[in-house]
Structure 1
Amino acid sequence: MNNKSSLTTSLVLRNIDIEIKRGRHIGICGAVGCGKSSLLQALIGRMPLLSGHLAIDGSVAYAAQQAWIFNGTLRENVLFGSSFKKDWYDRVIQACSLEPDLRILANGDMTEIGDRGINLSGGQKQRVSLARAVYSKRDIYLLDDPLSAVDVQVGKHLFHKCIDTLLKDKTVVLVTHQLQYLEHCDEVYVLDEGEIVEHGSHEVLLCKDGHYKKLIEQFHSNMDQAQNTDDISEIVDEDISTHNDNTSKQSEGRTEEKYKEEDYDKGILTDRETSQIGTISSDSYGSYIRQAGGGIVAFLVLLLYVVAISSTAFCEWWLGIWIQTVQVQENNLIASNESGSNFPISANTSTTSLDKVNNTIIGIEKLQEESNWYLMVYVYSTITLVVLCVLKGLVAGGVMTNASVNLHNEAVGRVMSAPMQYFDANPPGRLLNRFSRDVEEVDIFIPNLTDNLLQVFIMILASLVSTAYNLPVYLIAVFLVAFYVYIIKVIATIPLLSLKRLENVVRSPLISHVTTSCSGLNTIVSFSQENNFMNA
């Protein structure tokens, strides 16, 4: 019983019983947070159904409360995968009051709109979302408060010219806080705390003296207060508007000339992402070294690598000398014993055997003493090697981490201080790519590669020095191999760099597409555009 009670209280919608006949206009109202938007999402199947059933006969168009706009032209946002039909398109644009906006935009409906409609106002985004739903010519229209972000005059135009005229023969479910339009609806549903508390026509609900009547009275009271405030502001602004009327015509001409001079007048908003061509410049290496702490810090790290790797070479060299010395002494000891055994047997045999045993014992003791000395040097050198390797890892890791942190902080500082036009021209996916994959490479890939490079380079250099000292003739082969490796490096560097840069450039649109699709998933599903977005 308790479990059932807790489950009931956690539900967003409860006891919903709604039946909408074809061609009727339904209004849904209620207080903020009562479940109006959740009801529309349930109708498009975006909420889990725990009990009961949901049946919809016909295609559905959905206009979300928070208008979803993707990166593309305004026309592409309206068409949303549908074919372009000029007559119907013009009617929809006029009914959704987008004609004045098209005259303002740089290239009309072919103007590029940024991700999430970054270069549109809230009212413009809401009207584009409404136009998308209307243009689709669906059987059922679910409109989630499309009049909230527009002023009174535009709201009247949208309702009477679009919803009440263009969609008069369609099934419309309208969620709104503009209660003055509910009297034009065939039926009104009132929600409170996730339940339908009243439903019926506007006149019938007013006679019941219930939730709906209270909402209407509160709405008219707020409208009266807003009207008084508007009257005062109109008196204050009257002188200002008189002065501005004289200068508006002059400023219009100047504004048009300004728009023509700017690049984004042609409707192109997003800059094309480019990559560097050729090898990595020395400035890039210098920038990384500066962020790591400067040239002195880099030299100290390099010196630490040289000492650590030299310690490794010393340990190996000392171990080789130790083994060689022991083998020589053992061979000498065996040879002396064998030479002593070739004497003939005589009275002095016992004395000779005793001397041989003594010499053997002395040789073994001397060998043991030298082995202990070699062992002591090897143990201390090994301990020193371990300390140097740990110190090298801590110092080099700290320096490279410092470089990564400084590069990240500098990038964040520049982005945070960038003008708004920068964010208009660069979609969010591009910024996410810079601060995710690129930062990951600076944090992980570059330190690992640098560590391997320094270790291998110093070991090769030490080997070359040893070879030049012991067997100089082998340097001829070394020079030939080095020349061959250099040719391979020159041939392979350019395509590898190009592929890496191409990968970084291609990833940005993918991230933008995924983030945009996730934010507009409800709209995409309601319009059955899943395949188009997955194959985009």
Structure 2
Amino acid sequence: MKNIVFTNELNDEYYERVLESCALVPDLAQLPDRDLTEIGEKGINLSGGQKQRVSMARAVYSNRDIYLLDDPFSAVDTHVGKHLFEKTIGRNGLLKDKMRILVTNSVSILPNVDQIVVINNGYVSESGTFEELISRNGYFAEFVTEYLSQQSDNELKHEEKTNINQLRMKMKFLVNKVIYQTNGGNEWKNLMKQMLNNLREKRLNNINEENIIKNQLLFKTSGKLTETENSETCSVGLKIYTKYIHLIGLWFCAVIIGSSLASAMAQILSGLWLSEWSDDCLDSNYKNDTNVRYIRLGVYAGIGVFDTVFTFISQTFISFGCIGAAKHLHNIMLDRIIRAPISFYDTTPIGRIQNRFSRDMDSVDFSADNNNHFESICGRFSHNISNAISIDCNPSPLYIRTSRQLKRIESTTRSPIYSHFSETVSGSASIRAYGVSHQFIQECNRRIDENHMCYYPSIMASQWLAIRLELLGHCIVFLTAVFTVYYRFEFSPGIAGLAMSYALNITQSLKLLVNSTSNVETDIVSVERCFEYTETPIEAEWHNEATKLSPDWPERGEIKFSEYSTKYREGLDLVLKTITLERRWEYSNLGSFGYSVLSSSASRSMGFNM
């Protein structure tokens, strides 16, 4: 319904008249949900004639003053074309009060049009009614005569034969009228003789009526063709992490973990060393010895160099490992999508595929940047990790679960934006012709708003967490200061200063820990969505050792079908059942519908069923 009504208001009475005039009622009767049945992207499950009639119905329903019709009968059967002309375009059709400019190759309808303009070599050669042009005996009359001489009654269908015979009778009457008015009776006899001697085979362009059968098979399971993009609701499984680690490489991961731990130990050691250094002044035996100071400074510098080296190693391996994993994951996805069966593209919008290869892959590509926070966390948090976990266990898990799910929903609502953009670009000519650019802009804005409705809560959740972490951090600083003063005689000033230093940084460390954990959780959602496409069903392998061809192949140029069966996609009935064909066999019971299915099967556009 939406493809016909488009952006106009629904008028049930006029809508039914449009369906009847455009010969869509029989087609809709074959669909499970009639005019509410989902049509695939770019009308993938409609035949050429059905697409043409839906387009015509949309134009008729728009109720405009001028109609430009470019050969609307080219993809329909003769009887359907006759119905369209009589009920829609003709003098008694639904558009009888509108201006219709029709470009057509259908000669049989020319006697019923108001005015004919003949184009010859890019120029208007003559114009007038059918009777006037025939009476002039010019280029148009020659064209019609030649056309009639090329139509063989044996090759024409009943409807075509009826139309041609009517045209011949009218042509004969008009020519007789002109010839006898000019005393040229012999010319008419010669013309009729030529028409009988020059008959040759030629069929009118038409579309198979078996397309109705095709649509019945396509829609038999359900009126819904496009599969819904589901969003997971639980945490990302350990399987995804394991697969991603294998993409990075176990050796890479071992180096990253080892260097990160070494860097964290160096950061802890540097703090303890500074604490001990600051306690030197309290020692009664302390002397301001330059050598001791240089030793302290040298050790501290050595710890810093040690930390820098291992931080550089961990950062380098993280970057190369994540980039390599992203490349490998992209190549696997691309290979699976390229080799996916045609039915996958029938049920998957192009915007959904674009979303996986753009936004989700972008998150995977930059996952290394988000993971770099772990090194800075380890050094500051290793000594106090148990306290941080026990205090922070309440807000952070709730935030992480929420942000992860918001990321999934946001990714799911982004796909319709890409799909709408693709549809708008491909249908831009129709959008401008109907003057509905504003409506499409509004629809695009609506889909973007829906996406932002899922993105905005994630920002609010971050602020919600920041407030609680700030409060938690200030509480830790206050308690640390109280305990430091209370136990001032039990701790050295160096330890007290180190404790206050870590306490002052605790808020930033908490934010960094939770945000990094959340980033890992949200980024792994993109990895999860990409891994879904690595499991896309594919066609048969390029090379099969069991059916390996001999070096002398092909001995004969032939294709053999042995008990071959196929269906359009899973869940549908077979369209061909146990077909066996060999070279030089004669067969004619398939019809042109069967020929098209066999052609698709030979090119592996359709799979086979055992």
Task: Give the TM-score range, shorter chain.
Answer: 0.5 to 0.7
Alpha-carbon contact 1:182-1:188 (below 8 Å) kept: no
Q: How does 1:219-368 map to 2 (within 5 A)?
A: 228=200, 263-264=221-222, 267-293=223-249, 295-311=250-266, 332=287, 367=290
Distance in 2 (alpha carbons) for counterparts of 1:107 and 1:484: 57
How much has 1:143 moved relative to structure 2? 2.1
Distance in 2 (alpha carbons) for counterparts of 1:199 and 1:394: 78
Please tell me whether residue 458 in structure 1 is matched to residue 458 in structure 2: no
Q: Say how many residue pairs are matched.
A: 385
Structure 1 residues 303 and 190: CA distance shift in structure 2, 3 A: farther
One-letter code aligned to 1:201: G
Please tell me whether residue 138 in structure 1 is matched to residue 64 in structure 2: yes
How much has 1:94 moved relative to structure 2? 2.7
Distance in 2 (alpha carbons) for counterparts of 1:392 and 1:178: 74
Distance in 2 (alpha carbons) for counterparts of 1:127 and 1:176: 15
Q: Which residue number in structure 1 is paired with residue 35 of structure 2?
A: 109
Alpha-carbon contact 2:352-2:415 (below 8 Å) kept: yes
Please tell me whether residue 503 in structure 1 is matched to residue 410 in structure 2: yes
TM-score, normalised to structure 1, is 0.60
Q: Which residue number in structure 2 is paired with residue 20 of structure 1?
A: none
Distance in 1 (alpha carbons) for counterparts of 2:344 and 2:8: 32
Q: Which residue number in structure 2 is paired with residue 150 of structure 1?
A: 76
How much has 1:484 moved relative to structure 2? 2.4
What do the CA deviations read for 1:313-345 (whole angstroms, capped 9, x no partner)? Answer: 566766787888799999835xxxxxxxxxxxx
Give me the CA root mean square deviation: 4.2
Alpha-carbon contact 2:267-2:380 (below 8 Å) kept: no
SS of structure 2 residue aligned to 1:463: helix
What do the CA deviations read for 1:79-106 (whole angstroms, capped 9, x no partner)? Answer: 2233444443333223222233223222
- Largest Rg, 1 or 2: 1
Q: 2:400 aligns with which of 479, 493, 497?
A: 493
Q: 1:431 aligns with which of 332, 345, 353?
A: 353
Alpha-carbon contact 1:140-1:172 (below 8 Å) kept: yes
What do the CA deviations read for 1:506-530 (whole angstroms, capped 9, x no partner)? Answer: 2222322232223223322332333
How much has 1:127 moved relative to structure 2? 0.8
What do the CA deviations read for 1:336-391 (whole angstroms, capped 9, x no partner)? Answer: xxxxxxxxxxxxxxxxxxxxxxxxxxx7xxx2x66666676666665665554443
SS of structure 2 residue aligned to 1:188: strand
Distance in 2 (alpha carbons) for counterparts of 1:137 and 1:221: 40
Distance in 2 (alpha carbons) for counterparts of 1:192 and 1:304: 79
Distance in 2 (alpha carbons) for counterparts of 1:433 and 1:460: 38
How much has 1:270 moved relative to structure 2? 2.5
One-letter code aligned to 2:426: S
Alpha-carbon contact 2:248-2:324 (below 8 Å) kept: yes
Q: 2:102 aligns with which of 174, 188, 211?
A: 174
Alpha-carbon contact 2:247-2:328 (below 8 Å) kept: yes
Please tell me whether residue 407 in structure 1 is matched to residue 329 in structure 2: yes
How much has 1:139 moved relative to structure 2? 1.4
Q: 2:115 aligns with which of 181, 186, 210?
A: 186
Q: How does 1:31-70 map to 2 (within 5 A)?
A: none
Structure 1 residues 84 and 307: CA distance shift in structure 2, 3 A: same
Structure 1 alignment gaps of length 5 or more? 1-74, 232-247, 334-362, 466-477
Q: Which residue number in structure 2 is paired with residue 25 of structure 1?
A: none
SS of structure 1 residue aligned to 2:372: helix
One-letter code aligned to 1:443: D
Q: Which residue number in structure 2 is paired with residue 524 of structure 1?
A: 431
How much has 1:451 moved relative to structure 2? 1.8
Which one is further off, 149-158 or 296-305? 149-158
Q: Which residue number in structure 2 is paired with residue 512 of structure 1?
A: 419
Q: 1:127 aligns with which of 30, 53, 59?
A: 53
How much has 1:278 moved relative to structure 2? 2.7
One-letter code aligned to 1:200: S
Structure 1 residues 157 and 392: CA distance shift in structure 2, 3 A: same
One-letter code aligned to 2:55: S
What do the CA deviations read for 1:236-280 (whole angstroms, capped 9, x no partner)? Answer: xxxxxxxxxxxx9xxx9xx98x889x541xx22223322111322
Alpha-carbon contact 2:424-2:440 (below 8 Å) kept: yes
Q: How does 1:65-84 map to 2 (within 5 A)?
A: 75-84=1-10
SS of structure 2 residue aligned to 1:535: helix
Distance in 2 (alpha carbons) for counterparts of 1:302 and 1:321: 29
Identity among equivalent positions (%) equals 30
Q: 1:396 aligns with which of 294, 311, 318?
A: 318
Structure 1 residues 178 and 379: CA distance shift in structure 2, 3 A: farther
How much has 1:428 moved relative to structure 2? 2.0
Distance in 2 (alpha carbons) for counterparts of 1:413 and 1:387: 39
